[in-house]
C-alpha cells in the first residue's frame, strides 16, 4: 500500500506540466494551421457559423461569410482547449491519486519510473478513448498533436514517479515469524512500503503463539513514541526500518 496523499501531491504538479503543455501545444497548432481550420469550418460547420450576424457582402462556401467563420474559429480556440484542459487535469489527478494508493501493488517492483510510465500511458489512453487529447482541423496538425502527446506523456510519467518518491519515504516493516505488525489497522508484516514524508501512523504488534511482545527497534528516519508499548505511534521522516522484538 502506498500513499494516496503523496500521489495526489505529485499528480497536481506533474498534471499542471502535462496538461498545460499539451493545451498550449494544441493552441499553437490551431494558430499555425488557422487557414486550414477556417477552410474546414467553412465547409463542414456552415450551419453553425451562419447563425452569427455577418456582413452580407462576404461570401464563402455554403454561403458562410468570412466573418462568421472567423467568429467560429475564435469560439473554438477560446473554449475547447480550456475545456479539455479542465477535464484532462482532473482525469490525470484521479490516476495520480490511484497511483499513490496502489503504488506497492503495481507491477515492476523497485522500478518507480516504469510504474509512473504505465499510469501516464493509461491516462493518455483514456484521453484518446474520450476524444479529448485536443482539437484539430488538419491531418498534419492532428499527427503532430499525437506525437507531442506521447512525448508529453513520457514526461508526465517521469515527473509522477520522481515526485512521488520525493513526497514519500520507504519503510521496511520486519515482524519475523513470531509476530504481526499492523499499521493503521492493516497488516504490513514483513513488507517494504512507502508512506508520506513526515506522516504519523498507529502501529500495533501482535505476538503469535506463546511469544510475548518485548519492544520496538527502529533505524533510519523512523521513530516510535513508546518503544516499550505494543501499541504506539510511528513517525516517518525518512527511509528506515521498524522491527518488533518478542520473547519466546
Reading phi first (left if > 0) and then psi (alpha if -120 to 50, else beta), residue 238 is in beta
The pLDDT value given to residue 48: 55
Tell me the C-alpha to C-alpha distance, in Å, between residue 150 and each of 144, 210, 247.
10, 57, 56
**pLDDT tens-digit readout, 204-222:** 999 998 899 999 999 999 9
- Which tens digit of pLDDT belongs to each residue from 82-129? 899 999 999 999 999 999 988 888 876 667 889 999 999 999 999 999
- For the chain, the residue count is 248
Per the CB < 8 A criterion, the answer to whether 192 and 211 are in contact is no
Model pTM score = 0.81
pLDDT at 46: 59
Residue 60 has pLDDT above 70, yes or no: no
Q: Which residues have C-beta within 8 Å of that of residue 168, sequence separation ≥ 6? A: 2, 3, 6, 100, 194, 195, 196, 197
**pLDDT-based confidence at 64, cuts 50/70/90?**
very low
- Pick the more confident residue, 243 or 42: 243
Highest mean pLDDT among 34-48, 54-68, 161-175: 161-175
Pairing label, strands 168-174, 231-247? parallel
| Average pLDDT of the residues of the chain | 87
Average pLDDT over residues 132-145: 91
| 139-184 per-position pLDDT tens digit | 999 999 999 999 999 999 999 999 999 999 999 999 989 999 999 9
Count Cβ neighbours within 10 Å for each residue of 11-42 and write b for 16 or more, e otherwise.
bebbbeebbebbbebbbebbeebeebbbbbbb
Per-domain residue ranges for the chain? 4-166, 169-247
The share of the chain scoring above pLDDT 90, in percent, equals 63
**Which pLDDT belongs to residue 49?**
59
Amino acid at each position: 500500500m502506498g500513499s494516496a496523499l503523496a500521489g495526489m501531491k505529485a499528480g497536481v504538479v506533474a498534471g499542471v506540466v502535462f496538461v498545460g503543455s499539451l493545451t498550449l501545444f494544441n493552441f499553437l497548432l490551431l494558430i499555425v494551421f488557422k487557414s486550414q481550420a477556417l477552410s474546414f469550418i467553412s465547409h463542414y460547420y456552415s450551419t453553425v457559423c451562419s447563425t452569427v450576424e455577418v456582413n452580407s457582402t462576404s461570401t464563402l462556401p455554403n454561403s458562410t461569410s468570412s466573418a462568421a467563420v472567423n467568429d467560429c474559429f475564435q469560439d473554438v480556440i477560446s473554449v475547447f482547449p480550456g475545456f479539455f484542459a479542465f477535464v484532462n487535469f482532473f482525469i490525470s489527478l484521479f490516476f495520480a491519486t490511484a497511483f499513490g494508493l496502489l503504488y506497492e501493488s503495481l507491477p515492476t517492483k523497485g522500478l518507480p519510473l516504469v510504474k509512473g510510465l504505465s499510469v501516464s500511458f493509461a491516462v493518455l489512453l483514456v484521453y484518446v478513448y474520450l476524444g479529448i487529447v485536443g482539437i484539430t482541423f488538419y491531418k498534419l496538425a492532428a499527427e503532430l498533436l499525437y506525437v507531442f502527446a506521447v512525448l508529453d506523456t513520457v514526461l508526465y510519467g517521469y515527473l509522477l514517479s520522481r515526485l512521488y518518491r520525493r513526497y514519500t519515504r520507504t519503510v521496511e516493516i520486519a515482524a519475523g515469524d513470531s509476530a504481526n505488525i499492523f499499521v493503521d489497522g492493516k497488516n504490513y508484516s514483513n513488507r517494504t512500503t512507502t508512506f508520506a514524508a513526515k506522516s504519523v501512523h498507529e502501529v500495533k504488534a501482535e505476538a503469535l503463539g506463546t511469544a510475548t511482545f518485548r519492544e520496538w527497534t527502529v533505524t533510519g528516519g523512523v521513530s516510535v513514541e513508546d518503544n516499550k508499548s505494543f501499541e504506539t505511534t510511528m513517525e516517518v521522516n525518512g527511509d528506515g526500518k521498524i522491527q518488533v522484538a518478542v520473547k519466546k
